[in-house]
Structures are given as C-alpha cells and as structure tokens.
Amino acid sequence: MGSLLPLSLLVLLAAAYRGGGSARWRRAARAQGPGGNSPEPSETSASFWVRVSPAFKAVPPGGSVWLNCSSSCPLPENSSLSTRLRRGRTLSGPGWVSYELLDVRAWSSEVRCFVTCAGETRGATAKITAYKQPHSVILDPPVLVGSEYTLRCHVTHVFPVGFLVVTLRRGGRVIYSENLERFTGLDLANVTLTYTLPARPRDFLQPVTCHARLNLDGLVVRSSSAPMTLTVLAWSPAPKVLASTSIAAFVGILLVVGATYLRKWLLMQSRGAEGVVHDR
C-alpha cells in the first residue's frame, strides 16, 4: 500500500487528441514496411521487414506477456530481443520467435526485437505498460460547514498515480478536477482529494460523484464512486458538538432556576406553618 497523497490545488485539464494527419504524413507512412517500424530497403540492401506483436500491451503490476517477433526474411541469420524486463521462455518457428517477459512492474517499458538477414539488421519496437485499476473509489457523505460543503474522495490501490486524474461531478457537470502528474512514485498509492463547494439552494438534493481516470498513452481506465446527495441536514461534527453543549448548558440553567424556586416555596410554606401555630 502506498502513502496517502492529500490534494488541494485546482488544475485545468487538456486532452490531447491523436488522429487525422496530413498527406505528407500518409506518404511517409506508406514508405514504411508492413511492421510500421522499418523503412523500405534500398535496391542494394536485403528486402525484408520486421514486426512485433502486440505493439502495445498493458498488464497489471507483476504480470507477464508474450511478444512475437516476425520477419519476411527467408533465411534469418539471427534474432534477438533488447529489454530491461526479465525474460522467461522462448519459442520459435519459421519466420518468427516468441519471447516471454515476466514480472512486469515498470509503468512503461520499450522492447525491441532484431532480425539479421543477408548481413543487414532491422528491428521493431513494442511498448509494455504496467498499471493497476483503482481497487475502489469512495466519496464520503458531504459535510455542510457554515455555507460550504466539504467533499472528500478516496481512490485506493492505484498505479501509476502520476497518470491519474480525479474528477468531481455535480448533477453530471464537472465541478473540480485534479491531475496527479507531479507524483512520480513507483508504488501502489492511496489518494484522497478534498474540495469545498459553496452551498447554494439550487444544489440541494443534487447528486455528487467522484471519478478516477488513468490515461496510459492510448489506454484509458475509468472507475467511479456511488453518488452522494447534497442535503441541508449534512451537519459537520463541530456544529453537532456545539449544539449538544448548548442544550446541556440550557438544561443546567433550568435545573438551577427550578431549585431556587423550590427552595423559596419551601421557605414560604414553613413560615406559613409557624404563623398558624402562634395564632393558636
């Protein structure tokens, strides 16, 4: 379990869209080999391509993955793999070699496979991402203090926390977002986000939800909390203690006043009884 990360700063988020492309980009893409990683060979070089599959793979921290490296070389002289990840078994067949990678814990790793054909070596690259979807996203009941609601959201056991975005929504609209890119820890983390929301009459009975989103270079993982309702009865502990103290003080005053009047009444009764005895 990682450390608790209190958050308080408001961060504006910008989403990057990857798509489209100019005609120049498309011409450059056509100039690549079928693997999308190697250019077409010149007339004096061996004509072959290298590809790796899958080119992108996301696994839980500590998981494993198989990568297949293939080529169009009819008689490959050598095949190899370059990676910092721990390797397991290796399988091979005509035109392909599969590598097993074990205990993947780095959030992002590049793996390159190489094939040598007719004296020329070419390669292809794959990207392996390790992540952990939040175990839970919990929104505490809103607490009304004076004229503000305190909203507190807990995101537990998430990795990598530096790619996490936590968002609060009221009635479906975003009221606050926090990007945690400044946190670079390599362990599972628990995140707590606290936000104060001005109380307005039109917000009463509105649902509030908390959302956690991991953006992993093309892979998006989402988790959400159960909704909580903004109510006028959401007292904070401090006003409750103050109200209880006031009630206790008021009861104490009543007891003192009652005891005083009772003492006076008993005194008057005793004096009246003495007057009757003297008259006799």
Domains 50-130 and 136-230 share a fold: yes
Strands (E), the chain: 4-7, 50-53, 56-59, 63-71, 78-82, 86-93, 96-104, 108-117, 120-130, 136-139, 143-145, 148-158, 164-170, 173-179, 189-198, 207-216, 219-224, 228-229
Domain ranges in the chain are 50-130, 136-230
Q: pLDDT exceeding 70 applies to what percent of the chain? A: 66
DSSP 201: G
Q: Could you tell me which of 178, 171, 184 has the C-alpha nearest to residue 213? A: 178
Q: Given 2.60.40.10, 3.10.105.10, 1.10.1040.10, 3.30.9.30, which CATH number is that of 136-230?
A: 2.60.40.10
pLDDT category at 174 given cuts 50, 70, 90 is very high
Q: β-strands 63-71, 50-53: how paired?
A: antiparallel
The CATH architecture annotation of domain 50-130 reads Sandwich (2.60)
Q: Which residues pair with 225 in a beta bridge?
A: none
Q: Could you tell me which of 114, 110, 113, 87 has the C-alpha nearest to residue 100? A: 87
pLDDT confidence of residue 251: 39
Per-residue pLDDT tens for 116-127?
A: 998 999 999 999
pLDDT confidence of residue 273: 52
pLDDT confidence of residue 80: 93
pLDDT at 249 over 50: no
* pTM across the whole model: 0.54
